[in-house]
């Protein structure tokens, strides 16, 4: 829902900024489109939250946005360290997967934890939790990159 409002705000802002007051079509300078250095700076600051294979695609799409728009999009990224801490502490309940937006895996872990954990000692349950501790950071980066690319495609000019 939050992404919808951000996209709506950016679309309305784009509509009103396409023409400058003297009725000329807006140029890159009038819209304050960010330069390559600013895009690289945003990517460097948030590189720990993105998957390396998506960085070049994100870089090419960032240059078409205003800096403030891009900063808003980057503020929605989840931190892989937070996901790892959640995975270690309450990962058996799937809360780490809910945090990164992977609802299906979160529900799966929760159900396996409840059903298998109550029926037996739950070896599968503990193995899944242990493996997921090692996978959650990369899953967070991938989810962040996919969400950012989706948002960039919705707000790009």
Q: How far apart are the first and last CA of the chain?
A: 22
- Taking the C-alpha atoms of residue 76 and residue 38, their distance in angstroms, rounded to an integer, is 18
pLDDT band at 121 (very low <50, low <70, confident <90, very high): low
Least confident of 10-19, 29-38, 66-75, 120-129: 10-19
pTM for the model stands at 0.73
Is the C-alpha dihedral spanning 90, 96, 98, 99 positive or negative?
positive
pLDDT in tens, 12-55: 565 555 444 444 444 444 445 678 888 899 999 999 999 999 99
Return the SS3 of 33.
Answer: strand
**Averaged pLDDT for residues 135-148:** 95
DSSP E strands in 61-150: the ranges are none
Residue 78's CB is within 10 A of a number of other CB atoms, namely 16
Q: Is the distance from CB of 92 to CB of 125 less than 8 angstroms?
A: yes
Range scoring the smallest mean pLDDT among 24-28, 42-46, 112-116, 132-136: 24-28
> Is residue 109 within 8 Å of 132, Cβ to Cβ?
yes
Would you call 76 helix, strand, or coil by DSSP?
A: coil
């Amino acid at each position: 829902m939050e992404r919808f409002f951000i996209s709506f705000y950016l679309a309305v802002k784009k509509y009103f900024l396409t023409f400058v007051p003297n009725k000329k079509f807006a140029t890159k300078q009038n819209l304050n489109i960010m330069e390559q250095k600013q895009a690289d700076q945003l990517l460097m600051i948030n590189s720990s939250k993105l998957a390396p294979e998506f960085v070049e695609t994100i870089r090419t799409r960032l240059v078409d946005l205003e800096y403030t728009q891009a900063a808003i999009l980057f503020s929605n990224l989840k931190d892989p360290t937070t996901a790892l801490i959640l995975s270690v502490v309450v990962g058996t309940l799937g809360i780490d997967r809910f945090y990164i937006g992977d609802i299906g895996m979160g529900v799966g872990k929760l159900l396996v934890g409840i059903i298998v954990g109550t029926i037996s000692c739950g070896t599968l349950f503990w193995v899944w939790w242990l493996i997921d501790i090692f996978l959650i950071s990369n899953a967070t980066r991938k989810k962040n990159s996919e969400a950012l690319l989706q948002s960039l495609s919705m707000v790009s000019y």
